């Protein structure tokens, strides 16, 4: 299987960690979403990463939540996603919250990287920063619970760790001062999931 991604992508990091936990080998091919000639735009019409190419005859799979579901199925199920019931819903909701943090953080980065300074909107940036702040407040009060999956880790934990890792990468870890419970949680996650450190950008 081939994963199209970029090295700093937190969504690609999610998939790489999930693949390790599921025992699935991925060949990584870097993609440039800003290059109109990159084949990623044919593999995913939205031009977004990550994209999983299962084999030459299978349709591309995107994006990260769907890829993680596919990897879990390939591993027999219940490895990084609870098979059913409230635990599955909780894991999916936790993943959605962490994915929202990553989206809002990326949009702040893109506003500075791709928009001329005189065209940037401080109010819009503040709106994205507010999403991150509210999500971190919720996560600080209740960090992701230890999963009951066969790997001992689920998609909510993986996504949360990747979101915090991305905030470390792009925002100099400024979240850490006000979120000691999350700092402790991330340290514990990194200690028991070596793939987190191995996939650091």
Global pTM value: 0.96
The per-residue pLDDT string of the chain (201 residues; one tens digit each, 9 = 90 and over) reads 999 999 999 999 999 999 999 999 999 999 999 999 999 999 999 999 999 999 988 999 999 999 999 999 999 999 999 999 999 999 999 999 999 999 999 999 999 888 888 898 999 999 999 999 999 999 999 999 999 999 999 999 999 999 999 999 999 999 999 999 999 999 999 999 999 999 998
Sheet-wide strand order for 2-5? 27-30, 2-5, 51-53
**Residue 61 CA: distances (Å) to CA of 51, 64, 70:** 6, 9, 8
Q: Which residues of the chain form CATH 1.20.1050.10?
A: 85-198
User: Which H/E stretch holds residue 26?
Assistant: none
Looking at CATH, the fold of the domain delimited by 85-198 is given as Glutathione S-transferase Yfyf (Class Pi); Chain A, domain 2 (1.20.1050)
- Residue span(s) of the chain under CATH 3.40.30.10 come to 2-74
Task: Look at the domain 2-74 and name its fold.
Answer: Glutaredoxin (3.40.30)
């Amino acid at each position: 299987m081939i994963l199209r991604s970029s090295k700093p992508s937190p969504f690609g990091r999610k998939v790489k960690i999930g693949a390790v936990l599921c025992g699935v080998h991925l060949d990584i091919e870097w993609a440039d979403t800003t290059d109109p000639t990159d084949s990623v735009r044919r593999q995913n019409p939205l031009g977004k990463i990550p994209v999983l190419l299962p084999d030459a005859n299978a349709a591309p799979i995107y994006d990260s939540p769907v890829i993680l579901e596919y990897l879990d199925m390939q591993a027999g199920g219940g490895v990084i996603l609870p098979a059913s019931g409230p635990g599955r819903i909780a894991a999916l909701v936790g993943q959605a919250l962490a994915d929202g943090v990553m989206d809002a953080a990326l949009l702040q980065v893109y506003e500075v990287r791709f928009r001329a300074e005189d065209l940037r909107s401080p109010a819009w940036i503040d709106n994205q920063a507010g999403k991150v702040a509210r999500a971190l407040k919720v996560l600080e009060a209740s960090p992701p619970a230890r999963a009951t999956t066969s790997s001992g880790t689920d998609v909510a934990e993986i996504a949360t760790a990747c979101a915090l890792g991305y905030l470390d990468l792009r925002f100099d870890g400024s979240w850490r001062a006000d979120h000691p419970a999350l700092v402790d949680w991330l340290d514990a996650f990194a200690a028991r999931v070596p793939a987190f450190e191995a996939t650091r950008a």
